[in-house]
Amino acid sequence: MSATETQITKDAVKAPATIKGLLESEDFRAQVTRALPTHLTPERFIRVAATCLMRTPKLKDCHQGSFFNALLTLSQLGLEPDGRNAHLIPFENRKLGITECQLIIDYKGLVDLAMRSGTVANIHADKVCDNDIFEFDRGEIKKHSINFKEARGNAYAYYALVRFKDGSEKCEVMPREDVDAIRARSRSGKFGPWVTDYDEMAKKTCFRRLSKWIQLSPEFREALDHDADKIESRRFETAKQVQAISEPLDPFTPPELPEATATAEEESE
């Protein structure tokens, strides 16, 4: 082997692994296989993740640790990054000097997890518009009628309603200005599903608030803990600059990003 060929071989060995390459590796497939519930196959999960990369090319530039943390969290929850149940969003983290992958659990993903608890019979969420008939009294939704023969008008409130198998119900209603206030304080409020699917994110905001009052599965609580769509206005105040990544990252033990202590206002949402 010539000196040139030897150097090319050495360079190839040293070249950092790409997100796409790690995603297609046998090591990642084995890790996902151990984590996924029985209703999902590793082949489908990886295929959906690869489609997500194609649909949002900037994800390939994300910090590898943040990208694979998001995927492994989804595999443990039994959700796919399909743009319906969950979203992978690239976020320019100027504090850390990296592009970070944010995991956002959609309203439909939370509903999926809630229904697995075995205690929930039905979940319904909707918007309330100018021309709807809506009655809310002492914590109960008395009536919500929609005339689909006419334009509903602008949405001025959103709600989530859970009916349990014992027949009891619990609901949460939020005026649009309250939803917008939470969106304004959210780290992901100016991009992703908050822009493309506002109504779904508003329903999710109601359901998140409602979930504090109901008993749900550990998987549901874990999803809320890992969801990037929460107030993080002070998360990076004490963050330090990280060094540029020059070596391949182990996607299964990724470095943790710095966390700041949440304020009382943040924990209340």
What tokens were used for 141?
């939704």
Residue of higher predicted confidence among 241 and 150:
150
Evaluate if residue 165 carries a pLDDT over 80.
Answer: yes
Evaluate if residue 189 carries a pLDDT over 60.
Answer: yes
Q: For the CA atoms of 127, 132, 135, 139, what is the dihedral angle to 10 degrees?
A: 0
Mean pLDDT score, 75-82: 90
Mean pLDDT score, 123-145: 95
DSSP 3-state of 24: coil
Q: pLDDT at position 240, please?
A: 32
What's phi and psi for 140, nearest 5 deg?
Answer: -125, 140
Q: pLDDT at position 205, please?
A: 92
Q: pLDDT at position 228, please?
A: 72
Determine the Cα–Cα distance for residues 146 and 223; give it in Å rounded to an integer: 32
Determine the Cα–Cα distance for residues 113 and 94; give it in Å rounded to an integer: 33
Q: What is the pLDDT of residues 15-25, one digit of tens each?
A: 457 888 888 88
Report whether 228 contacts 102 (CB < 8 A). yes
Q: What is the pLDDT of residues 191-221, one digit of tens each?
A: 888 998 999 999 999 998 898 877 777 778 7
- Among 133-137, 142-146, 182-186, 240-244, which is the least confidently predicted range? 240-244
Taking 3-state DSSP, the helix, strand and coil percentages for the chain, each rounded to the nearest 5, stand at 40, 20, 40
Provide the terminal-to-terminal Cα distance of the chain, rounded to the nearest Å: 63
Instruction: State which amino acid sits at residue 11.
Output: D
Evaluate if residue 112 carries a pLDDT over 90.
Answer: no
Mean pLDDT score, 234-242: 33
- Among 15-19, 154-158, 163-167, 194-198, which is the least confidently predicted range? 15-19
**Any idea what the Cα angle at residue 170 is, between residues 217 and 131, rounded to 5°?**
125
Residue 242 — very low, low, confident or very high, per pLDDT cuts 50/70/90?
Answer: very low
Determine the Cα–Cα distance for residues 86 and 240; give it in Å rounded to an integer: 29
